[in-house]
Structure formats: structure tokens, C-alpha cells
Structure 1
Amino acid sequence: MDKSLLQQQVLERLQADLLQAEQAARVAHETATHEENIAENKYDTLGLEAAYLATGQARRVEAIRQTLAIWRQLRPRPFDPLEGVQLGALVCLEDAAQRQLLFFIGPEGASMQLSGEGQLVQVISPLTPLGQALRGKSAGDEVAIQLGIRQQLFALLWVQ
């Protein structure tokens, strides 16, 4: 499976999210500054609420821009068994029910499911519990994560 194609899917999805967030920020800003939304008394808070929403949307736009910039800098390398699983790795895990699960480890801010060669690939950050548990592992290793009071075990089948 081509990791650069997975990265391209992430970038396309983030770009679409950015366009949608920018549109929402514009609408919220227009609503907040529209002359009909000027408060007539202390109980008339539509303009104030729209201003809060516009601020939140502007922050969301900036967060997506930063995530896009970080993902554009990612250069997935071939797997090095001496380093084990690192940022940019594509891993296949098998759970207790013998289901195979694919994970692409990328920078923060883009948790999503992708389709690669007809298979679902979950994008995770190295800061997630699973991402932390995978760090430095190689094919054949066992990976355990704590989910509340339960521990879930996976077999690491392969890494790219």
C-alpha cells in the first residue's frame, strides 16, 4: 500500500475541511457584524453570540491550517527494523477475533478513516494510546493498550 497516496487523501480531506471551516467563519463573522444584530438592550445577545461563534470558527480555521502545514511536511520513510514503528508507519494489527486492522501513524490533528486499495485505514497520532504502544515495535511483537479496566491485545503482523 502506498503511504504517499494515504497522505494525499489526508491532505485532500483536510483541505475540504478548511474550505468548509472558512465558509462557516465568514458566515459567523457576517452575522456578528450585521446591522440587524446590534443589541437593542442587555437581553439582546444575538450579536454577542455570533461574535463568540465567529471567534471559535476562526480558531478552527487556524488549527486546520496548522495541521495541513504539518501533514505537508511529513515524509513517510520505509520501515527500519532498528527503529521500529515511527511517525509515517503503516501497520497491520490483528485483534483477538483475528480481524486485521490497518493504521497509518501521522502527525496530530487528522484522525480519520481512509480507503487504501479497498481496505479501511485508520489514521492515528503517535500520541494516542495505541500510537504510544506501537512506538518502536516490529512485526511479530505484541501490542497492549489499556481501555478503562480492560486490556486489549493485538499482534503486530507487518509494518511498512
Structure 2
Amino acid sequence: MDKFSLQQQVLQRLSEDLLQAEQAVRAAHETATHEENIAENKYDTLGLEAAYLATGQARRADAIRQALAHWRQFRPLPYDASKGIQLGALVCLVDADDQQQQLFLGPDGGSMQLLSGAQRVQVISCDAPLGKAMLGKCEGDEVSLQVATSRQQFEVLRVH
């Protein structure tokens, strides 16, 4: 699996998300400022609600822009066994039922599923609970994660 290819997929998806968010901002702003939506009484709140929506969409667009900037600057390094799993690692975990999952540890804002050939890869950040639990681990190590009332256990099968 190629980390550069995965990074390009993340950048493409984030760019598409940003385009959609910017379109939503414009639509909500137009609704908020349209002359037909001027409040005629205190119960007429369509314009106000659209303004709140426009603000929320603008914040979402800003967050996506920030994630794009982080992912553009991101340079995944080769795995160094002396440091264990770090930002940029491509990790294969296996659970007690022999179910494998591929994870790509990247900067914030890129949580998504990608395809690399026929292989599904989950992108997570180092700040995600599973990302934090994997940091510093090496092949063969156990990763344990508390989810609500149950504990999930994984073994690090491979790291690239």
C-alpha cells in the first residue's frame, strides 16, 4: 500500500468536502439575506435560522481548510521500529476473531475510509482513542481500547 496515494485520496476527499461546504455557506447566506425572509414579526425566524446555519457551515468550511493545510504539509515517514507506531504509520491490526483492519495514522481532520486496490483503509488521527492507544507500539504488541463498558483488544500484525 502506498502512503502517498492514500494521502492524495484524503486531499481529494477533503477538497470535495470543502467545495460542498462552501456551496452550503453560500446557499444559507442567500437564504438569510433574501428580501422575502425579512422577519415580519417576532415569530418569523426563517432568516435568523438561516443565518445561524450559514455561521455553522462557515465554521465547518474553516475546519476543512485547516485539515487540508495539515494534510498538504504532512510527510509520512517510513516506519522506524525503534520508535514504534508514529504519525504516518500504516498499521494492520487483528482482533480475537482474526478480523484484520488496515489503519493509516494521519493528521487531524482526515477521518475517513479509503480504498487501496481492493483493500479498505481507515484513516484516523493520533488524537483518536485508537490512534492514541497505538502510538509507540510495535509489531506483535497488543493494543487495548476501552469502549463504553467493553474492552477491545487487538494485536499489531504489520506496520509500514
Task: Please say whether Structure 1 and Structure 2 have the same fold, judged by a TM-score greater than 0.5.
Answer: yes
Correspondence 1:94 to 2:91: no
Unmatched tracts of structure 1, length 5 or more: none
The one-letter code of the counterpart of 1:142 is E
Q: Secondary structure at the match of 2:121?
A: strand
Q: Secondary structure at the match of 1:39?
A: coil
CA drift at 1:148: 1.7
**TM-score, normalising length: structure 2:** 0.98
The one-letter code of the counterpart of 2:21 is A
Measure, in 1, the Cα distance between the counterparts of 2:28 and 2:109: 23
Aligned pairs for 1:138-149 within 5 A:
138-149=138-149
Measure, in 1, the Cα distance between the counterparts of 2:62 and 2:142: 38
Aligned pairs for 1:1-160 within 5 A:
1-160=1-160
Measure, in 1, the Cα distance between the counterparts of 2:61 and 2:149: 37
The one-letter code of the counterpart of 1:61 is A
Corresponding pairs, count: 160
The one-letter code of the counterpart of 2:114 is L
Q: CA RMSD in A?
A: 0.7
Measure, in 2, the Cα distance between the counterparts of 1:64 and 1:12: 12
CA drift at 1:9: 0.4
User: Structure 1 runs of 4+ off > 3 angstroms?
Assistant: none
CA drift at 1:147: 1.3
Identity of aligned residues (%): 67
The one-letter code of the counterpart of 1:17 is D
CA drift at 1:117: 2.2
Deviations for 1:86-127, whole angstroms, at most 9, x for unmatched residues?
011100001111011100001111211000121000011111
The one-letter code of the counterpart of 2:131 is G
Q: Secondary structure at the match of 2:44?
A: coil
Deviations for 1:3-35, whole angstroms, at most 9, x for unmatched residues?
010010000000000000000000000010111
Measure, in 2, the Cα distance between the counterparts of 1:129 and 1:35: 47
